Amino acid sequence: MSGNKAVAYKGPGVVEVIDVDYPTFELKDGPGVNPANVGRKVPHGVILRTVATNICGSDQHMVRGRTTAPTDLVLGHEITGEVVEVGSDVEFIKVGDICSVPFNISCGRCRNCKERKTGICLNVNPDRPGSAYGYVDMGGWVGGQAEYVLVPYADWNLLKFPDRDQALEKMLDLTMLSDIFPTGFHGAVTAGVTVGSTVYIAGAGPVGLAAATSAHLLGAAVVIVGDMNADRLAQARTFGCETIDLSQGDPGSQIEQLLGIPEVDCAVDAVGFEAKGHGHGAGEAPATVLNSLMDITAAGGAMGIPGLYVTGDPGGIDAAAQKGALSLSLGTGWAKSLSFTTGQCPVMKYNRGLMMAILHDKVSIAKNVNAKAISLLDAPRGYAEFDAGAATKYVLNPNGYLN
């Protein structure tokens, strides 16, 4: 093998499909690769032919130029693939297996991995705990919006689907296991969602809709989704969510109209650092969601925060925001004894259980997030439409597995 097409970041607002090297069992130098990782041997890895790889809102932050991502970084951390080569140290995963790839890269050997904290593995990123494919400052592991991709620590990282034909039939659902479904579920779990809960989810993008789906799966009594995008709010209503339009003002008064009180038991931030203020024509105000959730979450409640926050944002509205320092009303959270959970979702904590829910028809995540398969060559169009607010989860189909 020698060829491999991939989606690369070419500068703010621009992605292109380019030719890159076919992966090998050694990390090579390239855009975003940590120098300490260059030459790293990966006999414990496999090479996948990509079955499906999704465009994520986290990718959009980079493509908008809102991170320090370098030009020509190959994108993509939501990966499902068929094993075509196995490294010499791989024991259980075999050629022909179709597997979901957690977006967190983890070794399975460090203290954090052994404690199921796979989002902050200590051995895969020389700069800091935690790593991911195709993402800025995450160690330089090449992204999976490509025809082929290398996955390290394969016996540990890969979730093998039990039946090939069933997996291909349900692939639009199963491809969500690499990130957004576990991430949304993690947001709901860490917010304390349980049977009978009232839940507010800020953001009706794919992660917000996955969190709403998860809240229903966990038994919530009422799931309310807030956004300014009418099409995305309409998508939330297709599977039983209540919705509020934040262009009309802050969420508290609108929640009161639905519940009789201006608060909920549990809240999820599925927006992150590019948040806008509330009200018509509101501009960017990155602390808006976090502060509003503290206002509307009942005393003693919890907030799940899967929305992305960064330490380097060249487009931040001020010097503080550019380094991730936001003006939070922490006193409100303290006075109400609220709990907060932030950071990467530890995908392996949830993905097998969610896989079983999909395979046994307990949930239709692809339908709920309005998944749509497009070709790899159509990736630039998918990025542009998603950035413009399309109520769609774009799934790239690099090798023709999807109808």
Evaluate the CA torsion angle 136, 137, 138, 139 in order and state its sign. Answer: positive
Say how far apart CA 60 and CA 79 lie, in whole Å: 16
Question: Is 223 found in the same domain as 326?
Answer: yes
Q: What is the pLDDT of residue 290?
A: 96
- Is 402 within the bounds of a domain? no
Confidence of residue 282 (pLDDT cuts 50, 70, 90): confident
Q: Which of 141, 151, 135, 49 is nearest to 102 (CA)?
A: 151
Say if CB 112 and CB 118 are below 8 A apart.
yes
DSSP for 372-390, written as a single string: EEE-GGGHHHHHHHHHTT-
| Residue where one domain finishes, among candidates 323, 341, 359 | 341
Would you say residue 403 lies in a domain?
A: no
**Chain centroid offset of residue 322 CA:** 22
Burial class (CB in 10 A: 0-12, 13-18, 19+), 306: buried
The residue out of 341, 361, 388 marking a domain boundary is: 341
Note whether 143 and 278 are same-domain residues. no
Q: How many CB atoms lie within 10 A of CB 379?
A: 25
Q: Give me the chain's average pLDDT, please.
A: 95
Residue 223 lies in a domain: yes
Residues 219 and 138 in one domain: no
Confidence of residue 185 (pLDDT cuts 50, 70, 90): very high
Identify the domain containing residue 269 by its residue range.
184-341
pLDDT digits (tens, 9 = 90+) for 109-155: 999 999 999 999 999 999 999 999 999 988 889 999 999 999 999 99
Q: Would 359 be classed as within a structural domain?
A: yes
CATH code assigned at 165: 3.90.180.10
Sequence-ordered alpha helix ranges (H) in 145-263: 154-157, 164-169, 171-174, 180-190, 206-217, 230-237, 251-259
End-to-end CA distance of the chain: 25
DSSP state of 27: P
Name the pTM for this structure: 0.96
Calculate the alpha carbon distances from 13 to 171, 261, 388 in Å: 29, 42, 11
Does a structural domain hold residue 309? yes
pLDDT over 70 at 308, yes or no = yes
Quick check: is 169 in a domain? yes
Residues 226 and 126 in one domain: no
CATH of the domain at 272: 3.40.50.720
Domain end among 304, 320, 341: 341
The pLDDT score that the predictor gives to residue 281 is: 86
Q: What is the pLDDT of residue 3?
A: 83
d(CA 374, CA 386): 13
Are 300 and 354 found together in one domain? no
**What band does 341 get if pLDDT is binned at 50, 70 and 90?**
very high
Rounded CA-CA distance 2/91 in Å is 26
Let me know whether 304 and 191 are in one domain: yes
373 part of a folded domain: yes
Q: Within a domain: residue 132?
A: yes
Q: Give tens-digit pLDDT for 2-60.
A: 589 999 999 999 999 999 999 999 999 999 888 999 999 999 999 999 999 999 999 99
Q: Is the pLDDT of residue 1 over 60?
A: no
27 in the same domain as 127: yes
Tokens of 66: 């809102």
Residues 156 and 195 both lie in one domain: no
The three-state secondary structure class of 20 is coil
Residues 205 and 315 in one domain: yes
DSSP state of 90: -
51 and 149 part of one domain: yes
Do 351 and 335 share a domain, yes or no?
no
144, 11: one domain: yes
Structure tokens given for 292: 């509003």
**Number of domains comprising the chain:** 2
